[in-house]
Amino acid sequence: MKRALISGVSGQDGAYLARTLLERGYQVIGTSRDAQLSSFSGLNTLGIKNEVTLISMALTDFRSVLQALLKHTPDEIYNLAGQSSVGLSFEQPVETLESIAFGTLNILEVLRVLKSKARFYNACSSECFGETPPGGATEVSPFMPRSPYGVAKATAYWTVANYRDAYGIWACSGILFNHESPLRPERFVTRKVIESAKRIAGGSKERLKLGNVDIERDWGWAPEYVEAMASMLQIEKPQDFVIATGETHSLRDFVASVFAELGLDYQEHVDTDPELLRPSDIRRSCGNPARAREILHWEAKTKMAEIARKMLSPATPSAR
């Protein structure tokens, strides 16, 4: 039985990845800074909390990471932890950089010191690219991040690449474009839209306030994206992969789809709020997943309109 350690198991991706690995016969260890205080709501929603070994591990504390890896000796490590909101990163840039870049560095240093043969997955982000070229960003597209979150993810990406090349550590990064599900926290715009639209459909007189609705994003379905993560650690040599649908849609299109599913015209319920505009933002973000299709045999099946429908339904243990 393979043993996988997931840092950030309490988040959307961590919960879905834990389910995927359990279904593949893994023993799964999930970490949180304080496992006794964390709710692990995603694991509870998916009905798998009791199947995951939950431990405390602080990624920014080298000793904590060392103890966890010495005790549990995982075959695979998935680093999904760290401050995960682009918007919040403008307000908490230091916490964002420390939790993402330093956390990744600590895991890599422990692997180096222990001479571990564990395979390491690093959760990178499309935010590293900034504006993407026609045809979508590939694994060789330049990084030009436009947020502290993107800068932190780019730092972690190059740290992984350096440790792979310098020390022969089996490590890779998945450069994931936006991926959504009912497990997204409401601070993410897709869940904010979903929850507000459901309340309005139920009779609420509230107005949905959004920033720039003309931004374009490559939106995928999170349960599919974690399958790509797991597949990345099964190939012979570590490679980085862009994981995306290859399609873009504006936030306006997403909002319109959600409200239409509920029989509503979004224009009657949505306002643009200048206070919600970011200091800098990406107008268009699109990925080219050709390498993932060719090597991992992975392809996104769920596209934007279906994502809107699925997010209107509650997450359940059987939902995929």
Question: Mind listing the domains of the chain with CATH numbers?
Answer: 3-181+220-247+286-301 (3.40.50.720)
Q: Which of 78, 121, 149, 163 is catalytic?
A: 149
Q: What DSSP line would sit under 44-113, residue for residue?
A: HHTT-GGGSEEEE--TT-HHHHHHHHHHH--SEEEE--S---HHHHHH-HHHHHIIIIIHHHHHHHHHHH
HSE (side-chain half, CA atoms, 13 Å) at 280: 13
* pLDDT at position 320: 66
Instruction: Using CB atoms within 10 Å of the CB of residue 223, give its burial: 0 to 12 exposed, 13 to 18 middle, 19+ buried.
Output: buried
pLDDT single digits (tens) 155-204: 999 999 999 999 999 999 999 999 999 999 888 999 999 999 999 999 99
pLDDT single digits (tens) 55-85: 999 999 999 999 999 999 999 999 999 988 8
Residue 317 has pLDDT above 70, yes or no: no
Distance, C-alpha 159 to centroid of its chain: 19
* pLDDT at position 85: 85
Tell me the C-alpha distance between 310 and 182, whole Å.
Answer: 8
Q: Is 116 a catalytic residue?
A: no
Residue 318 has pLDDT above 70, yes or no: no
Q: Which of 127, 180, 216, 224 is catalytic?
A: 127
* pLDDT at position 36: 86
Instruction: Please give the radius of gyration of the chain, using alpha carbons only, rounded to the nearest integer.
Output: 19
Q: Is 149 a catalytic residue?
A: yes
Q: Which of 89, 99, 125, 147 is catalytic?
A: 125
pLDDT single digits (tens) 202-226: 999 999 999 999 999 999 999 999 9
